[in-house]
Amino acid sequence: MARSRPAPAPLRPAAAGGPPSWVEPELATLTKDRFSDPAWIFERKLDGQRCLAFAGPGGIHLMSRSRREITTTFPEVAAALAAARSGDLVVDGEIVAFDGTRTRFEKLQLRLGVAAPSAALLREIPVFYFVFDVMYAAGRDVRPLPLLERKALLARSLRFGDPLRFTEHRERDGEAFFVQACRDGWEGLIAKRADAPYRSGRSRDWLKFKCVSEQEFVIGGYTDPQRSRAGFGALLLGYYDADHELVYAGKVGTGFSAKTLHSLHDRLATLELAEPAFRKGPLPGRRGVHWVRPELVAQIGFTEWTRSGELRHPRFTGLRDDKDPADVVREVAVARPQS
């Protein structure tokens, strides 16, 4: 039986006509299932920064998921889009940096937040924009179209060549593709319902198959460094629950470079609080602990959750300035919806 689907919300028009000034991105839901299904397609999950690109009469604007403009941070992407587009467009994708054949958020960190990268930095850390969807083209809102039709339209709407890359997909055989993805060191896969429209917000039409456990956490404190270590010892991490209370999820003390230890300590020192922002969870003792306002978001890899609700073997991979701390929740895997 066909499912009824809500129509996409009306696009917010640009001030002077042309494409919209903003579209809320569609977000994938973590799933515990691995499946093959002719009604779904499967794309590589990339370890980078989400980027929505708006190309209209006013030029190119690159926007992060949190609606922060990042056009000058990635000037080579903006220039390539300006040269390669045919007409006004709004497209969705991921900006990544490679370490060999793998995308690495840690490497991309060297470009994030740099408003005017030098020529040397552009050469040292080249980036690529993997475009996987289109929401506006040829003067119309194309979000109601089925995904495969949108991808065909996308392929016709841009001339792809580095740093612009079309996100290829496979059909049907998701299980074998997932095994290959993990063997090759990828983040995992995104499974997408082939006939679905583009729907803003968290969706079960897009599902995440993760090879590794990784998600964002809010930083709610830090500990003093020990012995010869500088900066800080560990970060205290948390996430928001359904009551929007900050829940303690443990601490992370690995994955930091010497530069990060110093620079992150300087930022955290300006956010100190007398009392913890955490409202739930067994907090560590106060000795050597500094509480901070929950304004920074860290990307953390880990092996699993313990029974007490803390992270096992966590590792810091970078800061996420494209994520709103209030949106950070514990990711819970769900079963895929039935076709």
**Which are the catalytic amino acids?**
45
Of 299, 300, 297, 296, nearest to 313 (Cα)? Answer: 300
Helix (H, G, I), strand (E, B) or coil at 155: helix
Residue 140's CB: how many other CB atoms inside 10 A?
A: 12
How many residues make up the chain in this entry? 339
Helix (H, G, I), strand (E, B) or coil at 157: helix
Q: Are 141 and 68 in contact (CB under 8 A)?
A: no
CA-CA-CA-CA torsion for 169, 145, 6, 93, nearest 10 degrees?
A: 40
Q: Are 11 and 141 in contact (CB under 8 A)?
A: yes
d(Cα 102, Cα 94) in Å, to the nearest integer? 14
d(Cα 26, Cα 199) in Å, to the nearest integer? 6
Helix (H, G, I), strand (E, B) or coil at 176: helix
Q: Are 164 and 12 in contact (CB under 8 A)?
A: no
Q: Are 94 and 51 in contact (CB under 8 A)?
A: yes
The angle formed by the CA atoms of residues 211, 217 and 223, to the nearest 5 degrees, is 120
Of 327, 284, 282, nearest to 307 (Cα)? Answer: 282
d(Cα 284, Cα 305) in Å, to the nearest integer? 17
Q: Which residue has the tokens 């007398």?
A: 274
